[in-house]
Structure 1
Amino acid sequence: MAHQERRQEQQIVNREDYEVFSWLFREEGADPETIRWSSFTRAMRGLGFIQEQTHGSVNRFKGPKNNNWQWGGGAITYHTGEYTNALHALVKARVSEEENLWALVASYEGDREDVGFTLTVYSHRNASWVTTPNKFIYSQDVEAAFTQKTAGGNDIYSSYYLNPQYHLRVHPRVDRASRASRDAKSAISVFVSTDRQIPVNIMPAWSQGARISELSHNDLALSSGPYTYGYANASGRIPPGDHYSLVVSAFELHHIGKFDLRVECSDRFDLTPIPQEGVGMLSKAVCGECTGETAGGGPSSSSYSSNPTYELQLPDPAQLRFRLQLTEPSPPVALNVTVFNLPTGTGALGRHVATSGPYCDAISGVIIEKLTLQAGKYLVVPSTYKAGVQAAFRLIMYSTVSGVQLVPRKE
């Protein structure tokens, strides 16, 4: 039977401190559990999701086709109107069957803190507003900022690991009698708000509460979807446990500014900042390049000893950490960094001390963690897996003692 089109009007009036609201398209007979939804608070007034060169009175953020939300480095898709002093601002859009989710955000230009408005939708398809969001018992607010040292950008950048990160632990319901109740998933919502010109994103990810260098799709417990200007929200249900890291990021490295983070949950939880890499340690970075003569490849290559080599001089026993990454991570190149004792004989390299592990082409690079060395001299060798691969790199060293030298080895 052919689907009969019906004209439907949904209206919501925003006055004073109105509750959270959201709006979604859906077909008749659709399974509610499969409907993706997005919520916005009245705090979005004045944010507007506005591009620097664009203005709009009603800005619409369109979900990707089939609700296949992008994650990490996602593009920012939107339609805008123009600011006007007319009593009505009208925006028309054609919605295809594949695009069943549209989020509308009303914004205004000016200094007033309270501007009431009425938002009306006319549609030939069924449309509905959701005005009763879940109320969670437990919540925590955090004030933080993207700074020159913590603005790592989206996940296409090798500096993504620098973004503010938090260890999230959700407590199980130990006071309940049944095991099924104790293992029940917890409802959670994570919100971040910032300056209207900063696109932001939230990624609660599976981990052991450690700092995340980069993410794959399988790592995500939840996601706020594509980067959005001024505000982002990730909501869903997750199993209890202490294996979550929450990453807050801005889209570009130059996006600097304060942000407010709020976590709400149906069960008790702990939220603690994850220290920056190398916190409390002294750092030193050296830049180098594998050229035609020094691109020796991996240990299986007969030319491994021709790779760029750095002499590490420790005046005292120390704990160290190394990170090796490409200065331009595209196209990806498999890397490794290895520490050797200074040779005592005629060999080019001494005894193997530590390595970053298998060769890896991760955008964030490769790491040697928690390396303890006695005072003395060592050799540090960065290399690519294949010989002849030319690439510029950055080698970052963290140390617990001062006076450490890391210099190119003299032949």
Structure 2
Amino acid sequence: MTGTRRVRPGGGSRPAGRRAQILRLAADLFHRHGYHQVSMTEVAGGLGITAPALYRHFRGKPELLHQVVGGGLDALAAALAPVRGTAELCAALSTVAIEQRPLGTLWQRDARLLPPGRRAGLRRELRADVRLMAGLLRADRPGIPPADAELLCWSALSVYGGLSNHSFAPPRRRFELLLREIGTALLAVSFTGAADRPPVLAGPVADRPGERREELLAAAVRLFHERGFDNVSTGRLGAAVGMAGPSVYHHFDSKAALLAAALERSRERLRQEVGHALDGAAAADAALAAGLRAYIGFARRHGHYLGAMLSETERLAPADRKAAVDFRRDFLRTWVGLLRQVRPGYDAAEARIRVHSMFALVNDGVRNRPHSERADLADCLERMARAVLGL
């Protein structure tokens, strides 16, 4: 590895000594607090060294993030290298998910903040891993179309990466067995006969009071999700809706207030659309089915909303962050409760892991091109989500 590009180790080698300690600590800090919330001084202090000593290993925080994410991908590649068949594949992915738990969050939330060239290089590495996985799957399922195999493999990475979003876990052995079971069920899904189901478009926001405010909220969600809160200026926000940057302050007191309002609007829409579907069914199994379709529909229309909710919540002021976290916990608790009614054999830990995995699968699936452009995407996502939930 160098400061400008990464050389992927061929045998799963690991950096030695102090460098390895830095990477482990940085991965944990970035995962728990977010890239922009962690300073190089904090990383150095966590190891009892000075900031200049840290800079002897890494020239800056972007390089440190690049190497942290790249190290997780190296571990994935090393685990996949000896795999033969989908059973071994699920076992390898389970091990990586447990041992490289921050990787999912680092990839989805923080890697997008890297310079475009470095981000593209890491994605090329991940694409190579997916091609390898898809080849193993097609060897076991010779009739599966290549595009279907790749969609299943990307989805498997989302499911296993979704473990980054929570900290609880059963005992290691049970955890591995559960993850293998989920992965095996997912990779067995067939898309044969999947129906084309175009997304229902949201109604226009024009010609109503506060139109410009609504436009700003929508633009903010998209830009914050794509670029990160700290990388979006008021000038860029204003330009996205055809106004001068300072004019943003006519509608919001600060960029932080705009973020808080945008995420609050996201929660309102999610509560209204999906909560209504969950509450409108008479039985738990019907509620899960209706809620799943509603969530997939919401995700297809509002992928940026979900992305920003996951990636930018830590940038909120404490009171706003608490409201966002409380909503997420309540939303998760509802789904876990319904799943346990339908599957009484699941304890709380298993149900939570399955629900987290389902959300990760859908949230990533609506944004992962070119598969996100499939006409039958909604049906494919529903089939995979049901497999992950054990339905």
Q: Which category of TM-score, normalised to the shorter sequence, fits these structures?
A: under 0.3
With structure 1 as the length reference, what TM-score do the two structures score? Answer: 0.23
Whose strand proportion is higher, 1 or 2?
1
Whose helix proportion is higher, 1 or 2?
2
